[in-house]
Structure 1
């Protein structure tokens, strides 16, 4: 009896292994005409570049550095294998235009259900049904128009002033001999701003020594990255405890979102008045639909919370990491801010328009360290790119990080040169910067709806901090970068901060 069971199980396992082998063989055959890193032996056949990627990332390196290395070796279109999936990287103006604009290839919802837990679900960022996405996008476009956002300058300034006072208090309590991790202060600030401006919520994260809400968001993003980098993580016992923690954090984030939305819905139940913010428009939309889908409302709530916080905080953190290494840039930045703002506290729209070099610094930070380092798409039909036939169901990555580090598009790409983005600079005046090569907010119909929000917030907060403080990097600062879906400095940008007289 036992022998029969053993033989039956063996037959099943052999059958499954044979099917998997055939599947991988057929996949490799479909993509054999594309250049890319080679695989060696039977391990390479079944796993592709899996071990190379996992080992690279486990040594505190970015996967995008491998993409950059491979792009230099294999060109602007290549493939690599992870288990039974091929990924195609395209880093060329023509291919980016073809995939994101001409063909409008469908999005791959990577952060929807990481580790099997609902994170962004079917929110605006991850919705794949084009008709549903288009309907919600059209409704929400109005909220993120620049003139609407400028009407919230009071909130941007108010939260910025709270940050300045908070940092001054930290300087007093820590003394001149202790550094602080600026990223975590910026991370709490941007969460407070998006909560108030978009949802009329007072999270007051800056006033808390530890913000659980920030932690939940970070863990959700970490879960997304873990599943992308290591699709076998669920089968590794040493990862189980970490995965349990990540899943629990995503549940707590969703619980917070449900509770916050329920309170707001009850507040608005008996009134016809709704403000001009994201939540109001989402509720208006939901009230007019035949079926009120509360779970999708929560998805959008989480999506805007994360999109409005994480990218701006990361971009600002990289600004200070670069300014600390480039004193001449910092000197020019401070001169402009002092000239335009002087000692005034309130920054208005005219001030923002005059802060041209400040804007260039923020844009250069987004170029060198794009918070979202790549965008994913999946082909719904065969396509030809640069003479190569790409089969249906191909998983694409548009590597923003790789293109921004390409000598072809940005001379001396490793250098921090805000002048690239000044109108009178030869590089900029010759229209060398294209929306197909510089795309920190993506391009096409699925571009980032909150990019105006991020630009206003980023420039204003950068100006306020430089206006009020001198700083230098802690000599022990690491320059490594970690990916938790978005890129962030691994050390949190350790700086010595001193109020300016």
Structure 2
């Protein structure tokens, strides 16, 4: 037998094995279809890929997938099936089901959180507080970090909140005097990054005044990478290689910064120097384990707080400015409250925050329409029945505040910006409003974020009138969190003193 015949035979054998594997995979997909097709859902784009082509197309076109989830929910009901190759996700909008998913410790976060342990081959969020699926291990981390988010500690942050917000007001005043256009999201993003760096890690980044700093771009690229991995073929596409490489470099920069910061603080502890009771100190306490990889877990939490501590607040503030600028009556009402509570004083006190009730309603309504973290997911530990539809155990179930927050069933005229929905006399949303999630795994930093947002918005409303630059799309951009695609471009005018 010739060499060519041997090679040809081997190739035929490999092709035969590949064909058998493909047929077996198709049979498995057919089994999955039979297991889940009793659940309503849109027609699949293809037998093999399910709805992935639609999802990838939306991502490539910068369209918001959650708008499609909302449309599917309104068309197919409170339980919607979404196929992706051999995996099925189920989207639920039933309040009782959401309560069961989020309020119970029975159902862990689903395996999609493992997708951001590494991002394009580089460790990203690892086993940090956001991504750790092991409840006992997560609970230990959470308990150790609670002191950094206690009321006494947060009250002590008011000085930093005021200081950094004043720096932002100075930049905005310069823009107002020059009558130049302001991309509000850009400056808000830098200010919130300066805040979290200082209060959490005692780092003076000064990104608000340093246009060359790499950190805002690094965070943006890391977040963008979280969206791009929805496309399972992204790694293989030549057009994505530059983006993937920049994402990897951005993550390495963030983790390198975290390592340097942690090692510096560890040395302070070893030298018995006085250290602040900040997030970093609590992270170090949480990392006091035995194996040599612990430093990586500590860095996981550094990166988690470094990103989450600024991204969500900046996005919320930018959307709030956008809505207030489009609703002058609401703007006048909230400015009147700020004038009454704050007056002309420079430093806002902790006790002032509780008096800014209408501003709280504005910020909550902003998060109803624009939850910066649009939702969460859980893995069912047992079968769940939702309005007569059985969802099998081991199914990843999606719950999105973006979807329920825009449903007429739960909020009258849902696309209308109406802060009075959150007045004291209004009925409270029943498990349909959860921008910071709910239950034991609700965001640890939500009080921190809303305190910071109130300080910044109060100062902004105290000092400026603003109008939006024409020609903006007001589209929402998904970069892992939701942000205004056009950055909320404004022109500011210094308010005349009454």
TM value normalised by structure 2:
0.94
Deviation string, structure 1 residues 412-462 (Cα, Å, up to 9, x no partner): 1100001111114xxx1xx3423x111110001110000000110011100
Q: Contact 1:145–1:452 (CA<8 Å) still a contact in 2? A: no
Q: Contact 1:104–1:444 (CA<8 Å) still a contact in 2? A: no
**Residues of 2 paired with 1:97 and 1:218: CA distance?**
32
Task: Give the deviation of 1:272 after TM superposition.
Answer: 6.0
Question: What's the counterpart of residue 198 of structure 1?
Answer: 200
**Residues of 1 paired with 2:77 and 2:159: CA distance?**
48
Q: Which moved more, 1:362-371 or 1:272-281?
A: 272-281
Gaps of 5+ in 2: none
Task: Give the deviation of 1:103 after TM superposition.
Answer: 5.5
Question: What's the counterpart of residue 75 of structure 2?
Answer: 73
Question: What's the counterpart of residue 429 of structure 2?
Answer: 433
Partner SS state of residue 124, structure 1: coil
Partner SS state of residue 373, structure 2: coil
TM value normalised by structure 1:
0.94
**Residues of 2 paired with 1:80 and 1:284: CA distance?**
41
Q: Contact 1:89–1:396 (CA<8 Å) still a contact in 2? A: yes
* From 15, 38, 43, the counterpart of 1:38: 43
Partner SS state of residue 125, structure 1: coil
* From 182, 185, 193, the counterpart of 1:183: 185
Question: What's the counterpart of residue 471 of structure 1?
Answer: 466
Q: Which moved more, 1:265-274 or 1:295-304?
A: 265-274
Question: What's the counterpart of residue 411 of structure 2?
Answer: 410
Matches within 5 A, 1:360-399: 360-399=361-400
- Aligned pairs, how many? 487
**Residues of 2 paired with 1:104 and 1:201: CA distance?**
38
Question: What's the counterpart of residue 169 of structure 1?
Answer: 174
**Residues of 2 paired with 1:475 and 1:376: CA distance?**
38
Question: What's the counterpart of residue 157 of structure 1?
Answer: 162
Deviation string, structure 1 residues 139-196 (Cα, Å, up to 9, x no partner): 1122212332012111111111111112222334xx22x3111001000111111111
Cα 1:269–1:169 change in 2 (3 A) is farther
**Residues of 1 paired with 2:176 and 2:490: CA distance?**
11
Matches within 5 A, 1:231-250: 231-250=232-251
**Residues of 1 paired with 2:375 and 2:85: CA distance?**
21
Segments of 4+ moved more than 4 angstroms? none
Question: What's the counterpart of residue 306 of structure 2?
Answer: 305
Q: Which moved more, 1:88-97 or 1:9-18?
A: 9-18
Task: Give the deviation of 1:278 after TM superposition.
Answer: 0.7
Partner SS state of residue 206, structure 1: coil
Deviation string, structure 1 residues 340-376 (Cα, Å, up to 9, x no partner): 1111001012211111111111111011100011102
**Residues of 1 paired with 2:106 and 2:359: CA distance?**
33
Task: Give the deviation of 1:54 after TM superposition.
Answer: 2.1
**Residues of 1 paired with 2:301 and 2:59: CA distance?**
30
**Residues of 2 paired with 1:112 and 1:396: CA distance?**
20
